[in-house]
Structure 1
Amino acid sequence: MLIARSVILFALAALLEIGGAWLIWQGWREHRGLWWIAAGVIALGGYGFVATFQSDANFGRILAAYGGVFVAGSLAWGMVVDKFRPDRYDVIGAVICLAGVVMIMYAPRGAQ
């Protein structure tokens, strides 16, 4: 249950961070306006709070693991939203990053 909760929190964090950055991109680079930028800033703020709900108390570990989720999530976002087609190196890189997430977050650890 603890791992499932953690995975859900990582997915929510990715949605908020990647979505927030995308909204800002759309607002500025695609000239959609300040409302898009404001929504992006709010989403990015939400991402900052979601990370605090992870059960591990180590900020560095959570952020490092989230980096791998961000890499894979960004490629997935690009596929769904922008119709981006990753090549095999993108996919291999994302799999390596996700393996890193598993190692960082879920490897058995003794008392520290």
Structure 2
Amino acid sequence: MSAFAFLGAAFAEIAGCFAFWAWIRLGKSPWWIAPGILSLCLFAYLLTLPALDQAGRSYAAYGGVYIMSALCWLWLVEGTKPDRWDVLGAAVCLIGAAIIYLGPRGQTAG
């Protein structure tokens, strides 16, 4: 469930931000803002679904998925294939996200 929530959140965040990018940077109609805002609201909701008790930890784990998704957007929507440095960076981020998300949590002495 969390993987789908993270992937959905990433798509919604990127699409929402791209709507503003298209309006401001590409000269598209201001009407692009309305679906952009709805998409960003969906992003915020989806990020509440993963099974982590702390918001900050959920956001940190999501970061790796977001980076990978942004590079997929770059390739599939913007037509620019990620280079090896993009892929390496995304892999490092996904490994970090997995450590944050899957790391054992327990009581520590202190």
Question: What TM-score do the two structures reach when normalised by structure 1?
Answer: 0.89
Q: Which of 17, 31, 36 is the matching residue for 2:32? A: 36
- Flag structure 1 segments of 5+ consecutive residues without an equivalent: none
Whether 1:72 aligns to 2:68 is: yes
For residues 53 and 40 of structure 2, the distance between their equivalents in structure 1, rounded to whole angstroms, comes to 21
Indicate the RMSD between aligned Cα atoms, in angstroms.
1.3
TM superposition shift of 1:104: 0.6
Residues 48-63 of structure 1 aligned to structure 2 (within 5 Å): 48-63=44-59
Deviation track 1:43-82 (CA, whole Å, cap 9, x = no partner) reads: 1111111111111120110111111111111001110000
**Secondary structure of the residue that 2:48 maps to in structure 1?**
helix
Q: Which has the higher helix share?
A: 1
Hey, which bits of structure 1, 4+ residues long, moved more than 3 A? none
* Aligned residue pairs, count: 108
1:96 to 70, 74, 92: 92
**Of the candidates 66, 85, 91, which is equivalent to residue 81 of structure 2?**
85
| Corresponding residue for residue 6 of structure 2 | 10
Unpaired segments ≥5 residues, structure 2 = none
Query: Structure 1 residue 20: deviation in Å?
Result: 0.7
1:28/1:37 contact within 8 Å kept? no
